[in-house]
Chains A and B, each alone.
Chain A
Amino acid sequence: MITLIWIELQKIFRKWRTYIGFIAIGALVTIVQIALYFTGDGYIKMLTRNFQDTFIMVGNLFNGYLVGNLVLTGLYIHIPFLIVLVGGDLLASEATSGTYRMLLTRPVSRIKIVTAKFFAGLVYVFLLIAWLALLSLGVSCLVFGTGELISFRGKLIIFAADDVLWRFLAAYGYAMLSMFTVFALSYFFSSLVENAIGPIVSTMAVIIILIILTALPIDFLKEISPYFFTSHMIQWEGFFGDPVDYEKIFKSALVLAGHIIGLCLVTTYLFTKKDILS
């Protein structure tokens, strides 16, 4: 299995499209960092304008943690686009290029092949989020330094400098779980068709539709939105709450994990039954 995953990783990382995600994140994070470097003080003033008369703000509030948090919030909705570029391509591209015929006439079970591709895809997602963390948090801390994290989610919370890093690590870990779910959905669509465009568009359509439905102020939709996986994808924000609602985060993580396992099983089943006609 390790060999199979290694082979799939080689295929993924020898394709140009794989690097689009890394380049896009690199460019976006850099632009955000440059913009904040020059306008960051204004941002802090805007964030604390209602409290400036009441509190005296001291220390380095505009620091790498704040930039990392802002980037995570700002880019989070866009990362799925980069995930599906690879996830939607993994199986469908084998059909498009006709390489299924080569691949599936090898003495390796289809279950192993589809599982190896799935794990290779997860590795890609892991590396992409790790890249995001490295740039948005690591580089930001180097450039802007560290300090207390000021966070505004309904209420203003200021976390002590030594109480921040674990929250970021947990948030990035949860973000990975969310993106694994997006990947699993695109992988599922990829197993159904013979062209990578379909799975990419379908996955994004599902995510966008569910997000829109969640945002609409309709009672019925409000009732059913907790059953949408997209509602659980943003629970990483919970790690920047005070106190952290671990039960809520755990439940959401279970929902996402259930989606990942379910989609993986359905994809595997369909793939093993599939007639290779391409």
Chain B
Amino acid sequence: MSEQIIEVRGLTKKFKNITAVKDLDLNVYRGDVFGFLGPNGAGKSTTIRMLLSLIKPTSGSIKIFGKSIKERREEILSKVGAIVEKPDFYLYLSAYKNLEILGKLSGADVSRKKIMEMLELVGLSKRANSKVKTYSHGMKQRLGLAQSLLHDPELIILDEPTTGLDPQGMKEIRELIIYLSKIKNKTVFLSSHILREVELIATRMIIINKGSAQVEGTVDDLLNIDKLTVSFEVDNIDNAKNILRDSAWKEKLISSTNRELSFGLVQNEIPELNKFFVEKGFSVSSIIPVRSLEDFFLKITEGEGK
């Protein structure tokens, strides 16, 4: 296992009578794109604020880069870039000036070349001198990413970074996160409610609900934690049903119609069943996994157990 970047133990935050985060443990390793999932009010933003020392935990410990955030706050934050909830800027200043100010505070290189590079990276270089109050929400999100990357941090914490972006913008941010992880070797802590996105880019993830961790692990493991409901559309479906009766796959068959057969499968059984049909001479026209991470997420957060 590689170096642990974030280590959270027994993290709890209470606001008077409300427990926002309860006894949370987190483990993020170097190079992870760590998905942090949960419904609204699950405690994601509160957790992120505690990671960044914006709010103080009621109990528990947070170590980042092996050091306590309580004791070594400045040293840790010099290596962390973050967007917490929606990125807000000094609206009366230009994007360039905002980056210059925030970069100076982070000890970053705030030369014109460096700032323009960052703005170019997020597609805002042509609007560098426009006041941020003239920016759309999507542009502010991009600028938020630029400010989080300006000081070349090792750990990037992104809280819902694609909120308000159009599909193309979401794709670009997704690609940027992959680029930061794979090419720049950054560790990314990604909070998102868009589960499909996390499924596509995260290596490890945790799902929290009502302030508590429900499940944590690699995305692959979590995808296989429960059977998927997979619908196979094959030709000559009556023959297919007959052949299934004489095979081990009959145990996996959940339901059938005159067009498709639905099976309860784990991830790696899907290609095996496909191969079975093909070898028996059937033509498989579609395979649709009905249960995805989203189903799993909903199941967990609706309290149906894990």
Answer whether residue A46 sits at the interface, using C-beta atoms and an 8 A cutoff. no
- Measured in the bound complex, the distance between the Cα atoms of B104 and A15 in whole Å is 20
CB neighbours of B78 from chain A (8 A): 107
Interface range on chain B: under 10, 10 to 19, 20 to 34, or 35 or more? 20 to 34
Contact across chains for A102 and B73 when beta carbons are under 8 A apart? no
Residue of B nearest to A7 (CB): B101
Contact across chains for A105 and B89 when beta carbons are under 8 A apart? no
CB neighbours of B102 from chain A (8 A): 102, 106
CB neighbours of B88 from chain A (8 A): 97-99, 101-102
Residue of A nearest to B98 (CB): A102
Proximity bits, A78-115, B CB within 8 Å = 1, else 0 = 00000000000000000001111111111111000000
CB neighbours of A105 from chain B (8 A): 52-54, 77, 80, 82, 84
Answer whether residue B107 sits at the interface, using C-beta atoms and an 8 A cutoff. yes
- Say whether, besides A99-B90, A102-B87, A107 and B147 are in contact (CB < 8 Å): no
Answer whether residue A218 sits at the interface, using C-beta atoms and an 8 A cutoff. no
Contact across chains for A11 and B54 when beta carbons are under 8 A apart? no
Measured CB to CB, the closest approach of chain B to A268, in angstroms, equals 16
- Measured in the bound complex, the distance between the Cα atoms of B86 and A3 in whole Å is 27
Residue of A nearest to B81 (CB): A105
Contact across chains for A106 and B87 when beta carbons are under 8 A apart? no
CB neighbours of B76 from chain A (8 A): 107
Contact across chains for A276 and B55 when beta carbons are under 8 A apart? yes
Contact across chains for B92 and A102 when beta carbons are under 8 A apart? no
Answer whether residue B75 sits at the interface, using C-beta atoms and an 8 A cutoff. yes
Answer whether residue B106 sits at the interface, using C-beta atoms and an 8 A cutoff. yes
- Measured in the bound complex, the distance between the Cα atoms of B88 and A3 in whole Å is 22
Residue of B nearest to A104 (CB): B54
Measured CB to CB, the closest approach of chain B to A96, in angstroms, equals 10
- Say whether, besides A7-B104, A15-B92, A109 and B73 are in contact (CB < 8 Å): yes
CB neighbours of B104 from chain A (8 A): 3, 7
Instruction: A105-B54, A107-B75 given; name 6 further pairs at CB < 8 Å.
Output: A99-B88, A102-B87, A102-B88, A107-B73, A273-B56, A275-B54
Which residues of B pack against A, CB within 8 Å? 49, 52-56, 73-78, 80, 82, 84-93, 97, 101-102, 104-107, 147
Q: Could you write out 16 A-B pairs with CB less than 8 Å apart? A: A4-B105, A10-B101, A11-B90, A16-B92, A97-B90, A97-B91, A99-B88, A101-B85, A101-B88, A104-B53, A105-B82, A106-B106, A107-B77, A107-B107, A276-B49, A276-B55
